Amino acid sequence: MARKRKAYAPFSLTSEAGVAQTPLEGYIDVDQQIYPTVNTGTVNENGRWSGVKSSDTEFKHFTKAVAIANGGETLTPDTGTRNFIDMTGFTDLFLACKTTTSGNFAITAVFGPDTNRFFNLEPIGSARVLRGASLPANSTADIQPLLEDGAQTIPADVWEVFHIQGVLKDQPMFQFKIVNNTGTQVDLETAFMRMV
């Protein structure tokens, strides 16, 4: 959007033109242009591009584990090259689970998998419980499991969605270990959605 406006100047138009002994002050025409901008990120202090994060708009990383025995476990997600969740720049996470038999499941956030590097570290301790100190939400600064739920009831044949707030914020590489405690063999589907 372009428009002209008058702006105050500490000199007169004639002094600007080089005419001596003209009074100070005056008003000049100024072209004012307004351009929309979009902030898509910055170059950080390491010289690397860092884009602005936005929440996922749908569930991703769909995984289906077939015939998990009672007491058996599965690591999810486990599909293709995106066999882990990257929460860098994200705060919350929705975990969706759908099972063929209702019952209890143990859900734990674990490190890995070991098929990937953790920044410049290799090998890493895969499937180990994610641990850390999460203040001020927790009353203690002790290093403890970030997400370890021993018994979560999931109904059969519908998606059960869990909202996990804050505790997995900025974790760059992890999976969920889900243990079947239903008393029978089950199929289990999972999906994830990250929120800024």
**For the chain, percent of residues with pLDDT exceeding 90:** 52
Name which residue leads in pLDDT, 34 or 136. Answer: 34
Which pair of tokens denotes residue 121?
């570290």
Tell me if 93 is assigned to some domain.
Answer: yes
Q: What is the pLDDT of residue 179?
A: 97
* Predicted TM-score of the model (pTM): 0.74
Closest alpha carbon to 174 in 45, 27, 76, 50: 76
Number of domains in the chain: 2
- Residue 38: inside a domain, yes or no? no
Question: Per residue in 126-179, pLDDT tens?
Answer: 889 999 886 655 556 688 898 999 899 999 999 999 999 999 999 999 999 999
Pairing of strands 174-180, 73-76: antiparallel
How confident is residue 1, by pLDDT bands cut at 50, 70 and 90? Answer: low
Backbone angles phi, psi at 177, to 5 degrees: -100, 120
Q: Are residues 83 and 139 located together in one domain of the fold?
A: yes
Task: Please check whether residue 85 is in contact with residue 192, taking contact to mean a CB–CB distance below 8 angstroms.
Answer: yes
On average, the pLDDT of the chain sits at 85
* Residue in the structure block whose two tokens are 């138009």: 13
Which residue's structure tokens are 């209890």?
Answer: 104
Is residue 46, in this structure, part of any structural domain at all? no
